[in-house]
Structure formats: structure tokens, C-alpha cells
Amino acid sequence: MKAEIHPEYFETTIKCACGNEVSVRSTVKDQHVEVCSACHPFYTGKQKLLDTAGRIEKFTRKYSKIKEKLLSKTSPN
């Protein structure tokens, strides 16, 4: 191996949003993830709604405005 071209290798902990922690070796120190093998539906066999970054709220806000516009155009005033 050539000297001084390889990144540092650390003992690190990967922490999931569900509380699961895994100790591994990596070039990146402590990592935080949203979904791990302990809570991912593919591995657990359980379906769970994962709302990443408020996508559902964003969708409802967007289409509620459109729905209001359509209702205001069709309502007799």
C-alpha cells in the first residue's frame, strides 16, 4: 500500500432514529440515519408509514389550495 493516500479509519457508531445503535469501522465518525435494518419494512415484514421531511403535509397544503380555488370558482355568489 502507498503511504499517506488512504483516509483515516475510525471505530464509529451508527445511530438510527428508532434508537438502534451499531458499532462499525468507517472513514466517517458518528453517523445518524433515519431507517436501519431493525426498523425498515423490507427487513421486518411490517409496513410502516415513513414521513420523510413532511412530504404528506406538503402534499396536503399544495392540493388544499387548488381545491379551494376550484370550489370558489364553482360556488354561486
- Assess contact for 44 and 36: CB atoms under 8 A: no
Q: Contact at 8 Å (CB) between 14 and 21?
A: yes
- 52 pLDDT higher than 80: no
The predicted pLDDT at position 63 comes to 85
pLDDT digits (tens, 9 = 90+) for 14-41: 898 888 898 999 998 888 888 887 887 6
Which whole number is the average pLDDT over 33-62? Answer: 74
Nearest-CA neighbor of 48 among 18, 10, 76?
18
Q: If you ran DSSP here, which 8-state letter would residue 34 be given?
A: S
Is the domain 1-48 a CATH 4.10.80.400 member? yes
Q: Where are the domains of the chain?
A: 1-48
Model confidence at 77, pLDDT cuts 50, 70, 90, reads low
Q: What is the pTM of this model?
A: 0.47
- For residue 41, the SS3 value is helix
pLDDT of residue 50: 60
- Terminal CA-CA length for the chain: 80
Amino acid at 55: R
